Chains A and B, each alone.
Chain A
Amino acid sequence: MTDDYLNRALSRRRFLKLAGGGIAAAGIAPILAACGGGSSSSSAGTTAASTGAAGETAASGGGEISMWWWGEQEAIGIQKWVDSTLAGFKEESGITVDPLLMDTAAVIPQFTEAAAAGKPPDTQFLFNGIYHMENVWLGYLQALNGLVPDETLAQSGATVLSVYQGKQYRVGWYIVGFGIEYDKRAFEAAGLDADNPPTTWDAFLDACDKIKTSGLIPFSAGVKDGFFGEWYFVNTLTQALDNPSQAIDLFVGNLDWTTPEYYEQWSKLQELVENGFINEDANSLELYQGIQLMETGKAAMTINTTASLPAAQEKLGENLGYFVMPVYGTGAMAGIPITDTQGFGIPTDAKDAAASAKLLEYMHSEERVNAMWSESRALPADEKFDASLIDDAFLKNVYETWWVGDHNAYVADLMPTLFWTDAMFVNSQKILAGEMTGEEAGQNAQDVSEKWVKQNPDIVANYKTWAEDLAAGQ
């Protein structure tokens, strides 16, 4: 029983921002790792799962670099790949890598603080978009162009959100797709075609209605911690956009949230709530408690990421299905799967940037990319990956649909945190509580965006440049 939960994949966002009791504050900790007497191997903020950490360093001729990473929390088993990669890298280059598995909430803030103190690691794990772009703007990360071969940069799967002013700051690692998971048995019981889930919003509403009649909760959610709100928001707002840069335009006030097409996602949520398609205790549950309702057979559908699918497979087996958010919007991005990637970068003050670049290149060698699946069952972002290695039909289909085919950027990677706390979080909860309409949600979003611009005049300019880059790149 307990092992089952041990193996549950955890979303990065869940913990990134969760930062319970101020875990985020631990961001300051690495400075002390740096000042606390040279040994940066003190496990600042490591999770309890540090048991498998790679063997301690024994300095050999090739030098030593440090790497702060994250990922075992989300893609359970990726540690194995990290260990074998670092061992292989030492054999090949003679360079010892000292890895430190960081806490989810701390991995980025801790890096920022360490970089501010001039003591960052040589290789740093990076989430996509604004999570590392803020550090780029502060001058804490260096462009990889020239350090890492162009071919590796292009194939690594870093996505457009890793590029600013023509420079790339991140290489990709593994993929995280977004969609709706469902229980085929519930679809059959409601008289629906279990192998052809709805693709349009109307068909989706119709399916919800039939499921509700059959006695199950059509769509389960837990919004207390806000992450359901984020996932739902991205899956739906994207449908109104032609280009990710429009999301930035909305956040910085160049576009208006009170335009009906930009608040429609919240009207649709209101519609689901008013029809009774969402569990009524959604407001007192957290994200994964909501997902659990679906996975324990009380609900038919829920929102989830591809990284969690292997864990869901263990519960539902053949009955697990996964589909792209049904479409109502008319933006160019509508109906296309949404996929993000995790990645690595090199800090400006890295002691040995050349060695770190070599490590990134080694991670992206064909053998290592394929090993990510064979050793850890994670889906690599690198284009060199040989997809015929995937021996699970369901996951293979997910990989092909969410990564090989046409896919969208994850627009929450462009979202200022203030928008998260004051608009996205507030709107989703108030709508679920029946206290806000979609239109009011749009008005609140507009107010929050204006407030953010006022509070962060220094960052707005960077955002605007970034939006121009993204618009031009399409």
Chain B
Amino acid sequence: MLKTRPWVPYLYVLPAFCLIGFIFAYPVAQVFNYSFRLIRGNSGPWVGTLNYQLIFEDPTFRSAAKHSLLLLLAVPVLLAISVLVSVLLYERARGWKIYRSVLFFPFILAVPVVGIVASYMFTLNGVVNSLLGAVGIDGPDWIGDSNKALWTLMLVIVWREVGFGIILFLARLLSLPEEQLEAARIDGAGWWSRLRYVILPELRGTIEFYCVIAAITMLAWVFGYVWTLTKGGPGDATTVLELYIYNQGLRNSLPGMASAVAVLLMGATMIFVALLFYVRRRQHEEEVA
């Protein structure tokens, strides 16, 4: 840690603090306020915890929450693919520069573009099933079957989002000291043991960061995919919390209930993050001390 006069750090944090405060403080405060009211238009009467009760009684909310939690299964998948591919690239496999560009490419496409293109590809008689049919496989009804739609959605999300993970881990790997790896190599450590004992420990901070980002993406930033690919259907098979918030808040004119869900989401993340920081601080203090 750098030694500073006590007020100096605040000076650095000030611009970001002010901007974040300006953009978030009032809206987030209002979200809390709304969650205790029956809002019609811009205001409404205080109803206590009624919105929260209504949410927990609502089967649509329960299935949306379940689907959002299921989407979290994509986090380890994203993590595994990005670490594996970035390590392969880092080892300068032949043509690694080309692969790097190619694998990042999906991430530069806009979410609506990805969702729209996928929605045409995955229809029952779409190009994916035509290709599978050409090699003799009878393809499933990717987005029309309730048991498969959520997995198709996850596939499409992973397809685009994994590019970010690959680049992130590659950037971290490229800033690692090479000697350590060379030493391990000279010691005769195999590929897996180098990964396990040298690379993964070095990536720990980045892995933690990426898991948080990926989890948040899955919980709170998938609306664009859902909307363009399945609209929440078939039935409620791909209804996620974000779509529930959108439906209750904007379509069903119940911003109070939508805000209550948002409060719960924020609360859950806060607890998760606080735990993470608690664990990390203890480790950090051991290191720094």
Binding site for B on A (CB under 8 A): 17, 19-22, 24-25, 27, 109, 112-113, 116, 134, 138, 223-226, 280-285, 289, 416-418, 420-422, 425-426, 429-430, 432-433, 435-436, 447, 451, 454-456, 458
Contact = CB atoms under 8 A, between A and B. Distances in A.
A214 B137 CA distance: 28
Interface of A is mostly: helix
A283 B145 contact: yes
25 contacts: A19-B251, A20-B228, A21-B224, A22-B223, A24-B251, A27-B250, A113-B41, A224-B230, A224-B231, A226-B231, A416-B252, A420-B251, A421-B251, A425-B233, A426-B233, A426-B236, A430-B235, A432-B234, A433-B234, A436-B235, A447-B59, A454-B57, A455-B252, A455-B254, A458-B40
Q: Taking chain B's interface residues, is the majority helix, strand, or loop, or is none over half, making it mixed?
A: loop
Given A225-B231, A283-B144, A284-B141, 12 more contacts: A21-B223, A224-B230, A226-B233, A283-B141, A284-B122, A284-B126, A418-B252, A422-B60, A426-B235, A429-B234, A436-B235, A455-B252
B196 to A, nearest CB: 43
Contact of B144 (A109, A282, A420, A454): A282
A24 B246 CA distance: 10
Given A20-B228, A21-B228, A283 B251 contact: no
Interface string B44-67: 000000000010011110000000
Given A17-B251, A433-B146, A433-B235, A280 B124 contact: yes
Most buried by A among B54, B123, B231, B233: B233
A281 B59 CA distance: 28
Contact of A224 (B40, B41, B233): B233
A299 to B, nearest CB: 13
B142 interface: yes
Contacts of B228: 20-21
A138 B144 contact: no
Interface in B1-52: 38, 40-42
Contacts of B104: none
A421 B252 contact: yes
Interface of B: 38, 40-42, 54, 57-60, 112, 122-126, 141-146, 223-224, 227-228, 230-236, 246-247, 250-254, 257
A458 B38 contact: yes
A399 to B, nearest CB: 33
B236 A21 contact: no
A289 B126 CA distance: 12
A138 B228 CA distance: 32
A433 B236 contact: no
A417 B42 contact: no
Contacts of B251: 17, 19, 24, 417, 420-421
Contacts of B112: 20-21
Contacts of A285: 123
A429 B246 CA distance: 20
Nearest to A456: B254
B60 A20 contact: no
Nearest to B58: A451
Nearest to B124: A281
Given A417-B252, A418-B252, A284 B41 contact: no
Contact of B227 (A21, A436, A458): A21
| 6 A-B pairs closest in CB distance | A283-B144, A281-B124, A284-B144, A429-B234, A284-B123, A430-B235
A429 B235 contact: yes
Contacts of A289: 123
A24 B245 CA distance: 13
Nearest to A418: B252
B46 to A, nearest CB: 14
Contacts of B143: 224, 283-284
A283 B234 contact: yes
Contacts of B230: 224
Contact of B235 (A21, A109, A435, A447): A435
A283 B123 CA distance: 8
Contact of B146 (A435, A451, A455): A435
Contacts of A19: 250-251
A224 B254 CA distance: 24
- Among B54, B230, B234, which residue has the most Cβ atoms of chain A within 10 A? B234
B145 A116 contact: no
A454 B252 contact: no
A425 B234 CA distance: 9
A422 B244 CA distance: 10
A109 B41 CA distance: 10
Given A224-B143, A224-B231, A430-B146, A138 B250 contact: no
Contacts of A112: 41
Contacts of A282: 144
Contacts of A422: 60, 236
A25 B124 CA distance: 32
Contacts of B145: 283, 433
A225 B227 CA distance: 10
The residue in B38, B246, B252 that gathers the most chain A C-beta atoms within 10 A of its C-beta is: B252
B230 to A, nearest CB: 7
Contacts of B57: 451, 454
